[in-house]
Amino acid sequence: MTISYAFSEFETIKYIPRRQLYKAFQRACDRWSKVIPVTFVEAKTIESANITIRFIALWCKGESLAYCYMCGKQAGVNFDATTKWTVKQSLFSDTFDSNTYNFESTAVHEIGHLLGMRHSPNMNSVMYRTSLGKMNLSREDVEKIREPIHLSPVPTVSPATSTAEMRYMVMM
């Protein structure tokens, strides 16, 4: 299965080059692709994308970094535009301050939701509710994503009003 994604041209952040955002998102996707037969590719246009990615000011400012949603065949990830993001691959590099969040790590988490993953109470999991900058899937993450229920991701899942959708509306 192939899932395409695209970033909004207008609802975005200016201080990270677009190409770097794409690369970081692809790296996040690839972490899941390594363990399940799902491939993520850049969509040619945002209209044709399975997943739309936007940076918007989230209503729950300061509490949430991102959320994802699914509505029929459309899915999206919205990142908080007021959060300071980095695409550096190490969360703990010299230049970090505590208000900077790792885009790739957050993307791994949100993609996990889109693939059917719920939050994990385990701090080693990329599905832990709070951002700890984790990017590597834990053994538990790999086992869970490989469970058969998780192998019907984005384009085929759930009409808009089902409880399945609600499950994905969970905040980061």
Chain residues binding Zn ion by CB under 5 A are 170, 172
Query: Based on CB atoms, which residue is closest to Zn ion, 3 or 113?
Result: 113
In this complex, which beta carbon is closest to Zn ion, that of residue 22 or of residue 69?
A: 69
Nearest to 81 by CA among 14, 169, 27: 14
Asked if residue 166 belongs to a known ligand binding site, the reply is: no
**Residue 127 annotated as binding site:** yes
Judged by beta carbon, residue 58 or residue 172, the one nearer Zn ion is 172
Q: Are 134 and 40 in contact (CB under 8 A)?
A: no
- For this structure, is 110 an active site residue? yes
The CB-of-80 to Zn ion minimum distance in angstroms stands at: 13
Q: From CA 65, how far away is CA 47, in angstroms rounded?
A: 24
Catalytic residue among 11, 63, 110, 143: 110
Provide the 3-class DSSP secondary structure of residue 151. helix
The CA-based diameter of the chain, rounded to the nearest angstrom, is: 45
CB of 157 to Zn ion, least distance (A): 17
Say if residue 150 carries a ligand binding annotation.
no
Neighbour-count burial of 7, counting CB atoms closer than 10 A to its CB (0-12 exposed, 13-18 middle, 19+ buried)? buried
Q: Smallest gap, in angstroms, from Cβ of residue 17 to Zn ion?
A: 27
Phi/psi at 52 (5° precision): -105, 135
Binding residues for Zn(2+): 109, 113, 119, 127
Residues that constitute the known binding site for Ca(2+): 76, 80
* Catalytic machinery residues: 110
